[in-house]
Structure formats: C-alpha cells, structure tokens
Structure 1
Amino acid sequence: MKKIVLFASGNGSNVENIIQYFKNNDTISIVGIFTNNLHAKVLDRAKKHNIFSVIFNKSELNEGLVLEKINSLQPDLIVLAGFLLKFPEHIIKEYPNKIINIHPALLPNYGGKGMYGMNVHNAVLENNEKETGITIHFVNEHYDEGEFIFQHKVNIQNCKTAEEIATKVQELEYEFFPKAIEKLFTNH
C-alpha cells in the first residue's frame, strides 16, 4: 500500500478531491492531513473521512516536530495541496523527490514568494494573459522552482475577472492533480 500525506492551509477543496479520487483504491491510501491553521476547513474534511490530522505552527514545522509526525506515518509521497508556508529544507532532504506541490499558473511565470491563490490570478489578469494553467512540481528549497511533473493550459481570453480565472484553474486542478499523483506511483 502506497501512503500519501496531504498538507493544506485552508478550505482543502483539493484535499477533498484527492480523498474522493483514491477512496476506493486498494493500493493508494491517504494516511494523514497536516495543517498550519487551527481553523482550516480541511480539518473538517479529515474528520469526515476519519483521516489522522495534525495541526502545527510555523516553529513546529521548522524545528522538527512535524518531521517526527510525518516519519511516524512513513509516507511514500507528501502532497502540498494549498499549503501556504515554505516547506523546510530538513523535510525536503529527508524525502527527496517525494514532495510535490500544485501551483495555479504556468511556472516559471507567476511563481515565487507571495504568489499563491488570488494573488496569482490577479497578476495573470492584470497582464492580460491569453492562457494560464497549472503546474505540478517537485518541491525543492526554493518557492516554485522544483522539477516539473505536469503542466496543463487553459484559454482565459473570455475571462473578465480573477475569480473567473480561478474557477477555470480550479477545474484543471480537480481534473489533473489526482491523476498526476497516481501516475507518480505507477511510473515507479
């Protein structure tokens, strides 16, 4: 059984989508949900699906407590699905090429510190881009600079607001993120 740990900071809609995708899979299991937000709705999702959850603060992430909790679950993959803190190097070194992230744009454009969620969609809109998309990538010590696993584009010429762009991007995330995770396991 391949084990996945999910990290999210907020609502957890991508987490829910991943849980649903792997719900009846007998070879891949979600074994933990980690969040840095005591009030994150992703905790309700963990409870609803009876998945072990961990709430932590930034210092616990950086000082080793989170790594201990991760190690206790022995995951084959760590998935950042709407996780907003920079992932610490000591965890990345412990799990090389086993931590992935989804970014709501076509990297290397619109990546880096502070480029998440609506910040990305607003920047895409302000620059009158004709297309945007998603990038799924391995996590390294720099924001949004890890090796690409998958990208997919969407036309946004008819979008008038950042919210419309966000909706199109989220549709891509829901369609392709779980499939990309599954493909990582089937390719190894």
Structure 2
Amino acid sequence: MFFCAGNNRFMTRIALFASGSGSNAENIVRYFSEKEDISIPLIISNKRDAYVHERAGRLGIPSFTFSKAEFDEGLAIIDLLRTSGIDYIVLAGFLLKVSQPLLDAYPGRIINIHPALLPKFGGKGMYGDRVHQAVVEAGETESGITIHYIDENYDEGDIIFQATCEVLPGDTPEEVARKVHALEYDHFPKVIEAVAKGLYPRNSASPAGKEL
C-alpha cells in the first residue's frame, strides 16, 4: 500500500486486467474515482486493439499491452505491478489463464468475476456469450455472477460472492446476458472494495446475494 500524507491514509492500489471492450473496467474505475483510499492506477490487456485501451485513455488511466508469452513468463508484468505499488489484481473480462509466476507474486490477491453461478458453467472456454448460451440450452431457471479468488485452475478458486437473476422461459442468451451484466455492474465494485478492506480474506465465502 502507498501512504498518503495529505489525508493520513494508506492507499490500496488495484490493477485491472481486461481483454475486450472494458465495460466492467470502466464501471470499476468510475466507482473508485469517488473513493479516497482505493485507486486504479493502471489497466493491462493481452490485446493491443482491445477497446478497453480507448476507455482507459478517456478515463486518464495508463494502459499497457503484453503478449501471451509475456503473461506466461510473468516477469515484465510483475515488475510493472511492483513498480506501480499494486496490491491487488482484478480480472475484468480477462480471457487468459493467470500464470504461476503471477499467482506466486500475488497469492490470494487476484480476483475474477464469472458470468454464471459456479461451479456450473465454468472451466476452460466458458466465457461471455458461450456461458449464457449454455445456461439457456440447459433450461436453467436462474443464472448470476460469481466473484472468486484465482488459483491454478479455471474457475475453481475460493468463492467470495454470488448473486442471482431469474431466467424466464423463452429468455434468449442476449436477455440473460443483460441481466447478468446488471449484476456485474452493481456488485463487482462493491465486492472489490470489501476484499481490498480485508472483509473477505481467501478461504472465506460470502452468502450468495449478500448486499455489501
């Protein structure tokens, strides 16, 4: 953490990782722009042409691109994170598997959001519209979000928080996606804030749908 002499507080610094449009990333940045003790000093992507870079530019947040090989090797990214004083990593639509060097550098300090109620509809290749399509095809009556810590396997880390939405007969994957996105925008920043303040350490779980 960085110490801020002006307001006598420690500043928790969070890096966002994103692969796509960055709508969740922008929502998170805007939420924490109102906070005095948590900041988002940088955004990292694995895609140079991802729209998240344009969003970051508009928000005045530096953004960086690293190749898959650099993510796998980890050293350059870890150097940037440490130089920037990063305390936590938040995956906001980031599609690469987190490498072991990053896991070792930030144990229990990397969190992800998944657009379904894990352990259902998780694992390699299950992201975005694929998840919502699978939910509809399975005839599920509810879906939702899972916010969890990252470990060595896809979507298997300790669950921090879940919230649900109803899936109605006849709902399309696009309609399910809209409901899930609403949950993401509402809950993800609040859960990140709670984790950063030590309210949900690793190996503890929040009851599904608990308001923060």
TM-score band w.r.t. shorter chain: over 0.9
Q: Deviations over 1:19-63 (max 9, x none)?
A: 111112110000110001111110011111111211011001112
Q: Does 1:91 align with 2:123?
A: no
What is the deviation of 1:158? 4.3
Letter in 1 for 2:149: F
How far did 1:159 drift?
4.8
Q: Which residue of 2 aligns with 1:57?
A: 67
Deviation at 1:186, TM superposition (A): 2.6
Deviates more, 1:140-149 or 1:155-164: 155-164
Residue of structure 2 aligned with 1:140, choices 151, 160, 163: 151
Task: Choose the corresponding residue for 1:14, options 1, 19, 24.
Answer: 24
Please name the residue that 1:107 is paired with. Answer: 118
Distance 1:17 1:109, change over 3 A: same
SS across alignment from 1:68: helix
Normalised TM-score (structure 1): 0.97
Q: Which amino acid aligns with 1:49?
A: L
Distance of aligned partners of 1:159 and 1:14 in 2 relative to their CA distance in 1, 3 Å threshold: farther
Q: Which of 178-187 and 133-142 deviates more?
A: 178-187
Identity of aligned residues (%): 49
Cα distance in 1 between the residues matched to 2:110 and 2:170: 32
TM-score, normalisation: structure 2: 0.86
Q: How many positions carry a matched residue from both structures?
A: 188
Gaps of 5+ in 2: 1-10, 200-212
Contact 1:61 1:67 in 2 (8 A): no
Deviation larger for 158-167 or 102-111: 158-167
1:20-169 alignment runs, 5 A limit: 20-63=30-73, 64-169=75-180
| Higher helix residue share | 1
Paired letter, 2:60:
N
Aligned to 1:182: 193
User: Quick one: which amino acid aligns to residue 168 of structure 1?
Assistant: K
Contact 1:7 1:80 (8 Å CA) reproduced: yes
- Tell me which structure has the larger Cα radius of gyration: 2
Cα RMSD over matched residues?
1.0
